[in-house]
Structure 1
Amino acid sequence: MDTKLSVVINEKKTSIQFDNHHGGITIFNNNDTKNLLDEACIYFLLKNNTIIDIGKTGLTALFEDSDFQKIIVITPPWDIELDYLEILFIEEAEKNGLSLKNIQQENRNIPANSLKNVTKYKELLLLVLETFGYHFFQKQEPTAPPAAKPKHAKARHKWSKEISQIEFFIDSRESKATVLWHKRNEMLLKAGATMMKEPPLNKDGSLGFSARFGEKIREDHKDKIKNFVTTEDLILKSVNEVGLFLYFGGTNSWLELKDADGKSIDAWTIVE
């Protein structure tokens, strides 16, 4: 089946739109993450035209420490679930030996009634990307041995009913808080949490990517904050989001949350 595309190219980006409102692809020839702040999309980060990171935009996007040169943005149509498309692309990359950073997906189950539609769309995107020279495999020298397939690109953590009953404490980077991983996709931050007052700045005096996301989360919950102390219990989406909210990230929050005996939430939940 033929696919009709509308393509616009300039020195900064290449915009590819599918017909029939079927989404599109934008290839940015720079590493300016401002392009991702408000866009609901899947992103690929590339170094030397090799994909090094895959994720979706929103509060879980964490890649300010990544060394990349280009960004590819996938904007799917309304009937394609962003989470499921991200899962398929991550699995495609791992299957082909790509080593990815900052993977946020922990639950990779896709409902059967969605799998066929999302897979078909992913295959269409792969066809277009490969036509434009972007491939889901690691380039190798002809004489080099094939890259070993990694077990997992990032540590994976598993929620359980047992974990939901454990209080974890943060005392780091000017912040003190009590947190429970009380549901699979929810972290409960207890009232009275103390927050870092000022975000760290880049060398040029600008806000980093994590700091900007941290400020956005704070803005979303500003009615429950007074003098940098939370006045009510808050629900956040992940361990990383807790770190962004309290101290603008900058460290591995899985190691910062510890129980009363000093055992980290990472040690409690990591999947070997």
Structure 2
Amino acid sequence: MKFDVEINQETTTIHLPNQQGVIVIGNEPDKSGRGVQLFLKAGQLAAVSTETSQIDHDQVITIKPDWDLEADYLDKSLTEYAVANGLLKGEAPTIKIPTNQRATVEDFRDLVLKILTGLGFRLAFLQAPKHSGKPRHRFSKQVSQIAFSVDHDGATATVYWQKRNEMLVKAGARLKPKPELNKDGSLGFSAKFAERLRSEHADDIQDFVTTRDIVLKSVNEVGLFLYFGGINGWLVLKDEAGKSINDWTIVK
């Protein structure tokens, strides 16, 4: 496995493969408000939290997944795993991981644990993962010519993967008006990022319909922009015969 690493005086940042997110290792909690933090004390796991709580620690590992994966879901999955293996006492967060996202969350969790194990962190629940993380997809000239359609949760669009890091959403796309909220009525991280994407293109949207072509960076951004994510976008985008963009591009 290959990944990029940045090292400075205070932190070590690991960029995960396939733009899946980052792991930051340091001595202080991350204050950005995004990510799951593993608080360590004397080499042992003291807590798992999305908050910058005043937990006694001497090292913090902050895991920031890409925007298509909710940090709250990762928090629950990591805590469940730690409690089940006797490393933490108590219960996992009450938030429910949607059935259609649990496999994705656990795959990402296992990828992170594999990397941390390789770096020498001796945490009791760091076991060899069963999965290899997100699949890889390959861009090609043939794929760039295919019109992929979106018809999901009230959102419709025609999308082209026109360049390696460019997804073209054709004018006339209909956006899902409102995101699902957390139980406490707040916006999730994905919904916040989706709202930011929409605000960047506000001049090109009228009554939740795009008036001009819009270029985004990835399939994940397309899903967030159109319907606030919540499902694997590689399976949502389909050609006229119903073949998904995943089937067209996955590297086996």
User: TM range, normalised to the smaller chain?
Assistant: 0.5 to 0.7
2:75 equivalent to 1:67: yes
2:205 equivalent to 1:205: no
Of 204, 214, 238, which aligns to 1:234? 214
Of 122, 145, 150, which aligns to 1:170? 150
The alignment of Structure 1 onto Structure 2 pairs a total of residues equal to: 184
Change (3 A) 1:137 1:151: farther
2:29 equivalent to 1:28: yes
User: Where do residues 211-230 of structure 1 align in structure 2 (5 Å cutoff)?
Assistant: 211-230=191-210
Please list the CA deviations of residues 38-60 of structure 1 after superposition, one character each: whole Å capped at 9, or x if unmatched.
Answer: xxxxx775484799985577xx4
Distance 1:185 1:244 in 2: 16
Distance 1:193 1:26 in 2: 46
Q: For structure 2, which runs of at least 5 residues remain unmatched after alignment?
A: 1-7, 13-24, 40-44, 49-59, 80-108
Match of 2:111 in 1: 100
Quote how far apart the aligned CAs of 1:26 are. 6.1
Distance 1:150 1:52 in 2: 22
Quote how far apart the aligned CAs of 1:265 are. 0.7
Change (3 A) 1:137 1:17: closer
The aligned amino acid for 1:236 is L
The aligned amino acid for 2:123 is K
Q: SS at the partner of 2:229?
A: coil
User: Where do residues 111-130 of structure 1 align in structure 2 (5 Å cutoff)?
Assistant: none
Change (3 A) 1:26 1:221: farther
Matched-pair contact (CA < 8 Å) for 1:54–1:100:
no
2:123 equivalent to 1:154: no
Match of 1:253 in 2: 233
Quote how far apart the aligned CAs of 1:156 are. 1.2
Amino-acid identity (%): 47
Q: SS at the partner of 2:33?
A: helix
Quote how far apart the aligned CAs of 1:17 are. 7.6
Change (3 A) 1:165 1:215: same
RMSD after superposition: 4.0
Distance 2:64 2:239 in 1: 30
The aligned amino acid for 2:140 is S
Of 139, 144, 169, which aligns to 2:123? 139
2:168 equivalent to 1:194: no
Superposition TM-score, scaled by structure 2 size: 0.60
Distance 1:215 1:193 in 2: 16
